[in-house]
């Protein structure tokens, strides 16, 4: 193992979970956060020491929102916090662009994203097992040097994750589809629940609860995430919006009394709905097995 000392910058859910996993392997961990209480909470959980390291650590994990990665990396490289740097943000392309433009040493950085999370946020929600068996994407740039790559792979091993190497752009397109767009859809549906008739929510069952569950995530963090991946998220939601328009046209046809549109129009509209429902069933089939213990970022 080339990672014996670790710095975690940002002791929220993910940063503290990484620290807890590393501690289990006797790695010495140093904790940082703008929020003093978050550092104290993480340290109290046994995640590491709430103090600066005496000398540069092997690897620093930047567990900050996407928009903060480039500035925090520049700051920490300037003061020599670590030999190598990675991050855990769920957006990779825009931070990478900013880093290549501003970082003192792009060669010691590699982007990372563990595909695990919870709705609950903050150090108290952290769990050492959070990354167990989950994909952990690495996005090396053409400048990334081998030591940074190797130390990031070691970190993933320490956390029990499954490394996947991707281009930043490909990663962002993928998470726009499987995480960011679903989150905004869940929020759109959940927001509607408030303008419903009084008894509606009382009748609600597990279905709508599942559809809207991820909408509980931290609104500031998610605002930063979707903004940082705005183009890819917009592309997914634009295709969805186009299909929604067709579905609405079909529903309005079918809402008319039988004297309304002729049997042919009704038949087409029915087909539109059933075709969507069938492609939906097929789409769910594309997903890997349920892993109830973890939830998507």
Residues 168-187 that bind a second copy (CB under 8 A): 170, 173-175, 177-179, 181-187
60 versus 70: smaller Cβ distance to a second copy: 70
84 versus 272: smaller Cβ distance to a second copy: 272
Map residues 53-92 to x or -, x wherever contact with a second copy holds by CB under 8 A: ----------------------------------------
Please name the helix (run of DSSP H) or strand (run of DSSP E) that holds residue 138, with its range, or none: strand 135-139
Q: Which residue has the tokens 């790695």?
A: 27
31 versus 226: smaller Cβ distance to a second copy: 226
- Could you say which of 44, 104, 245, 268 contacts a second copy (CB under 8 A)? 245
Distance CA 45, CA 39 (A): 10
Query: Binding segment for a second copy among 40-48, 138-146, 152-160, 190-198 (CB under 8 A)?
Result: 190-198
Partners of 86 in beta bridges: 61, 110
Which of 224, 232, 112 minimizes the C-alpha distance to 177? 232
We find the least distance from the C-beta atom of residue 183 to a second copy, in angstroms, to be: 7
- Could you say which of 46, 51, 78, 243 contacts a second copy (CB under 8 A)? 243
Distance CA 85, CA 107 (A): 9
CA distances from 266 to 127, 250, 273, 276 (A): 53, 8, 11, 15
Please name the helix (run of DSSP H) or strand (run of DSSP E) that holds residue 284, with its range, or none: helix 263-285
- Could you say which of 188, 264, 265, 268 contacts a second copy (CB under 8 A)? 188
Q: Are 92 and 174 in contact (CB under 8 A)?
A: no
We find the least distance from the C-beta atom of residue 226 to a second copy, in angstroms, to be: 6
Residues of span 116-155 touching a second copy by CB under 8 A: 116-117, 134-135, 137
């Amino acid at each position: 193992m080339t990672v014996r000392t670790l710095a975690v910058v940002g002791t929220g859910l993910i940063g503290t979970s990484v620290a807890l996993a590393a501690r289990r392997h006797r790695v010495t961990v140093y904790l940082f956060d703008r929020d003093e209480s978050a550092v104290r909470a993480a340290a109290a959980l046994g995640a590491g020491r709430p103090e600066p390291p005496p000398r540069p650590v092997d690897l620093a994990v930047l567990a900050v929102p996407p928009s903060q990665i480039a500035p925090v990396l520049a700051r920490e490289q300037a003061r020599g916090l670590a030999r190598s740097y990675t991050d855990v943000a769920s957006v990779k392309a825009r931070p990478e662009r900013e880093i290549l433009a501003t970082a003192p040493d792009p060669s010691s950085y590699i982007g990372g994203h563990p595909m695990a999370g919870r709705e609950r946020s903050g150090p108290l929600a952290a769990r050492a097992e959070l990354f167990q068996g989950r994909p952990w994407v690495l996005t090396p740039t053409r400048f990334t040097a081998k030591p940074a790559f190797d130390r990031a792979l070691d970190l993933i091993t320490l956390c029990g994750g499954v490394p996947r190497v991707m281009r930043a752009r490909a990663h962002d397109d993928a998470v726009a589809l499987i995480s960011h767009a679903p989150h905004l859809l869940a929020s759109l549906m959940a927001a509607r629940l408030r303008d419903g008739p009084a008894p509606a929510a009382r009748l609600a069952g597990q279905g709508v609860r599942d559809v809207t569950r991820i909408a509980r995530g931290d609104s500031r963090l998610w605002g930063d995430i979707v903004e940082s991946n705005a183009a890819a998220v917009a592309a997914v939601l634009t295709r969805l919006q186009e299909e929604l328009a067709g579905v609405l046209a079909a529903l309005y046809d079918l809402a008319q009394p039988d004297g309304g549109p002729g049997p042919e129009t009704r038949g087409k509209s029915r087909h539109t709905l059933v075709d969507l429902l069938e492609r939906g069933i097929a789409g769910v089939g594309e997903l890997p097995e349920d892993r109830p213990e973890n939830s998507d970022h």
